[in-house]
Structure 1
Amino acid sequence: MDIIKCEAALAAAEQGSLTAAAELLGYTQSGITRMISALESEIGFPLFIRSKKGVRLTENGKIMLPLFREIVRSRQNAEQVSAEICGMIRGTLTIGCYYSISALRLPAILKEFRSRYPGVTVRMQEGGNREMSRWLNERSVDCCFCAYPEAADFDWIPVFEDELVAWLPKDHPLAHADAFPIENLEKEPFIHTSPNHDTDQDRLLAAFHLHPQTCFSTRDAFTTYNMVEAGLGISFNQRLISQKWNGEVALVPFSPPQFIPLGIAVPSLKDASPSARRFIDCAAPGCRPSSPA
């Protein structure tokens, strides 16, 4: 099975468009179309449903996609290992990452990584806990820099902990308090960021069996932060997220204190590519890997 055709099918599935897949891989649309048609002829059934809006996988295509991904990944690993033997590190590294980590912590890590391994192209995929778990299970990323993924099969390298803090308007009675009682989340208007998406908010509320008075829901933490600043309610999130935001929002630790373990999840350390292993060494020097509980 031709690897280039597998790459074309993967790109079309990820982009949802033959035109976008062609642009991503540097081919013409007709070239991508021919490669995918040839692959479908080879395996004996259609991979995609075509429409004016783009393409989407057939049920058989969904079954084949992980196999195509494994073929491409094996080729990439072989290329990286052979380059390593020759004293070079080359290849592509795909990192899944929290929005907050990619904006606030990852740039310095990538700067160091780039200085050591300029031949490695880094591709970022940003998302939340649900996306991280899916990407790890699909093996569509080399690693994820995120909170502990609860619904995935992976190896885990803990790096640091971030504190969950209450976000309160500046004139809130507890804005200058030493702690915010966690049960108070049920007693005031609450602004929920991405509800029902296995976020850190969802996990904490479920752990304490809390049912806040949700008055607004948002898709973006920065929107939530600004709504809190406007006095529309209270919320909470990782302290790291608002590190460089300058709004007048009080960040108050919870009572009892709450911390989120952040680290690097890898589909398999044993099978990790040379680029992924070197990224881990760069991002988490001295940190010891552990297996999921």
Structure 2
Amino acid sequence: MDAVKCQAFLKAAEQGSFTAAADSLSYSQSGITRMISSLEEELGFPLFIRQKKGVTLTEDGRLMLPLLRELVQAHQHAEELGAAIRGLVRGSLTLGCYFSVSSMWMPEILQQFAQDFPQVKVTMLEGGNKEIAKWLTEKSVDLCFCAKPGRGVDCDWIELYQDPLVAWLPSQHPKAAAASFAIKDLERESFIHTLPGQDTDQDRLIEQEGLKLQTRFSTKDGFTTYNMVEAGLGVSFNQRMIARKWSGRVAQVPLAPQRFVSLGLALPRSADPSPAAKRFIACVEEMVEELAGGTAL
């Protein structure tokens, strides 16, 4: 089965359009259409429902999706391994990345990786815990730089750093200068919740501690929450790292008892990392201590 045809299928499934898939892969639309039609003829059943506004997978197409994805990945890994044997590192790397990691660490890591391995193309997907769990389960990424996936996510885990959770308090809050902030005291405050219901680190701690919060506002990102805390609209909590470069009038007070977010690299279970993925893992492990301020594991 031709890996190029399978790649065209995957891109069309991802984009929901033959035209968009053609643009992404630098083919003509007619070329993509011919490849997918040929693949359907080879398999003996249709993979897509064609509509005026795009395409959607048939039930058979959905069943074939993970298998054809594995075929394309195996083809790419074979090419990359051949290049590595010849003394080159080339290919592509699809990286899932946790929001806070992508903003704080990834620019420096990608800069170094691109300098060391300029022939590796990196595609980065940003998301929260739910999206990352989905990507790992589907094996649509080579690896994820993220918080430790929850139970039920089948993956291999390399822990790199323990990031403490801290309360975010307005600078005028009575406990802004305190050495710690009791987790249970969050129940007495007007709370600002970031991305509720998305299996965030906030969601996980709230569930673990059985907190009954007085949620006044909810937001879609940490920076908005941070600015709302600064304005005195309530309190919140998050990883210490996420606000390291922000300079608002917000006190970051360690929670008591201490709680941490485990950050590291997650790989789809039983997936043999490609040469490019192995080089990226080594690059991260080498740089993470410096990026974390000397507190990496």
Q: What is the TM-score when the length of structure 2 is the normalising length?
A: 0.92
Residue deviations 1:120-174 (CA, integer Å, cap 9, x gap)? 1111011011111111111111110001112321111111111111111121111
- Give the 3 Å change call, closer, same or farther, for CA 149–178 of structure 1 in structure 2: same
1:269, distance to aligned residue in structure 2 (A) = 6.6
- Give the 3 Å change call, closer, same or farther, for CA 252–86 of structure 1 in structure 2: same
Counterparts of 1:38-77 in structure 2, within 5 Å, are 38-77=38-77
Residue deviations 1:90-135 (CA, integer Å, cap 9, x gap)? 1001111012111211222222222221111111011011111111
Hey, what's the Cα distance between the residues in 2 that align with 1:113 and 1:194? Answer: 31
SS at match of 1:32: helix
Hey, what's the Cα distance between the residues in 2 that align with 1:217 and 1:52? Answer: 38
For 2:32, the aligned partner's letter is: I
- Give the 3 Å change call, closer, same or farther, for CA 286–172 of structure 1 in structure 2: closer
1:43, distance to aligned residue in structure 2 (A) = 1.7
For 2:247, the aligned partner's letter is: N
Matched, 1:228 2:241: no
1:54, distance to aligned residue in structure 2 (A) = 2.6
1:286, distance to aligned residue in structure 2 (A) = 10
For 2:133, the aligned partner's letter is: S
SS at match of 1:245: coil
1:86, distance to aligned residue in structure 2 (A) = 0.5
Hey, what's the Cα distance between the residues in 2 that align with 1:286 and 1:80? Answer: 24
- What does residue 267 of structure 2 align with? 266
- What does residue 248 of structure 2 align with? 247
Hey, what's the Cα distance between the residues in 2 that align with 1:139 and 1:107? Answer: 24
Unaligned runs of 5+ in 2: 289-297
For 2:143, the aligned partner's letter is: C
2:40–2:46 Cα contact (<8 Å) kept? yes
- What does residue 16 of structure 1 align with? 16
- What does residue 31 of structure 1 align with? 31
Hey, what's the Cα distance between the residues in 2 that align with 1:70 and 1:19? Answer: 24
Query: Structure 1 residues 25-34 or 159-168, which shifts more?
Result: 25-34
SS at match of 1:284: helix
- What does residue 91 of structure 1 align with? 91
1:211, distance to aligned residue in structure 2 (A) = 2.2
Q: What is the TM-score when the length of structure 1 is the normalising length?
A: 0.93
1:204, distance to aligned residue in structure 2 (A) = 0.4
1:42, distance to aligned residue in structure 2 (A) = 2.3
- What does residue 106 of structure 1 align with? 106
Hey, what's the Cα distance between the residues in 2 that align with 1:56 and 1:243? Answer: 43
Hey, what's the Cα distance between the residues in 1 that align with 2:28 and 2:233? Answer: 50
SS at match of 2:55: strand
Query: Structure 1 residues 14-23 or 62-71, which shifts more?
Result: 14-23
Hey, what's the Cα distance between the residues in 1 that align with 2:276 and 2:119? Answer: 10
Unaligned runs of 5+ in 1: 288-293
1:268, distance to aligned residue in structure 2 (A) = 4.2
Residue deviations 1:226-253 (CA, integer Å, cap 9, x gap)? 1111222111111111111122111111
- Give the 3 Å change call, closer, same or farther, for CA 211–34 of structure 1 in structure 2: farther
- What does residue 216 of structure 2 align with? 215
SS at match of 1:246: coil
% of aligned pairs identical? 59
For 2:72, the aligned partner's letter is: V
- What does residue 293 of structure 2 align with? none
Counterparts of 1:73-222 in structure 2, within 5 Å, are 73-150=73-150, 151-222=152-223
Hey, what's the Cα distance between the residues in 1 that align with 2:153 and 2:115? Answer: 32
SS at match of 1:257: coil
- Give the 3 Å change call, closer, same or farther, for CA 218–17 of structure 1 in structure 2: farther
- What does residue 284 of structure 1 align with? 285
Hey, what's the Cα distance between the residues in 2 that align with 1:194 and 1:12? Answer: 30
Hey, what's the Cα distance between the residues in 2 that align with 1:156 and 1:84? Answer: 25
Hey, what's the Cα distance between the residues in 1 that align with 2:138 and 2:177? Answer: 45
2:165–2:237 Cα contact (<8 Å) kept? yes
- Give the 3 Å change call, closer, same or farther, for CA 230–52 of structure 1 in structure 2: farther
> What's the C-alpha RMSD, in Å, of the aligned pairs?
1.7
Q: Which runs of 4+ in 1 moved over 4 A?
A: none
Hey, what's the Cα distance between the residues in 2 that align with 1:164 and 1:131? Answer: 22
Count of residue pairs the alignment pairs up: 287
2:109–2:287 Cα contact (<8 Å) kept? no
